[in-house]
Amino acid sequence: MTLNEKQLRKIKITLEIFRSQIGLYNKLKDDEQSLDEFMSLNRNPFFDLTTNKFFKTGLVSNEVKRLNLTPKNVVHDHFIQRKKSMKLFFDLLIQNPNMDVNQFIDFMKKYVSTVGLTKEEHMKVTMLAKNNDEYNFNLYTECDIIIDGMDKFVI
């Protein structure tokens, strides 16, 4: 699976938008509440960019397999929440402000991709994540969600 021209153009523009926000990120990074709001406001581009098959891991929970769910009935969960991915990304962008589009795509592939869950599993993880600072992939175990191959994907 490859990205088409339009998808690639959107990714390039998004990288430039994020790069232009480095100064604001630096200004807010020591104010926990403001930083949280900044990350929350900026998480949607990650969702918009990763809705295509290129950013889906192909991994699904054992429950999705057991129920033999069709793709339209599977919830694609970001195993690292988008807001948390934004923090990881901006910290990386500070270290590498000249990040190129391929490095950005590699980051998204590694930290913003999705796995397939049932609607019920997704609700469990979402509820647990609201009161927890853990990444979703760590919460799957607490929710009795098994995703074969996840251990190889998340190092």
Chain-wide mean pLDDT for the chain?
Answer: 92
Question: Does the pLDDT value for residue 1 go beyond 80?
Answer: no
pLDDT in tens, 70-129: 988 999 999 999 899 999 999 999 999 999 999 999 999 899 889 999 999 999 999 999
pLDDT of residue 155: 61
Question: What pairing do the DSSP bridges indicate for beta strands 114-117 and 56-60?
Answer: parallel
Which residue type occupies 144? D
* pLDDT given at position 154: 75
* Structural domain total, the chain: 1
Least confident of 44-48, 71-75, 91-95, 133-137: 44-48
What does residue 58 show for φ and ψ, rounded to 5 degrees? 85, -5
Domain of residue 72: give its range.
Answer: 5-153
Q: Cβ of 72: how many Cβ atoms within 10 Å?
A: 5
- Residue 54 CB contacts under 8 Å (≥ 6 apart), including other chains: 1, 2, 3, 7, 109
pLDDT band at 55 (very low <50, low <70, confident <90, very high): confident
Average pLDDT over residues 39-46: 88
Q: Please state the pTM of the whole predicted model.
A: 0.86
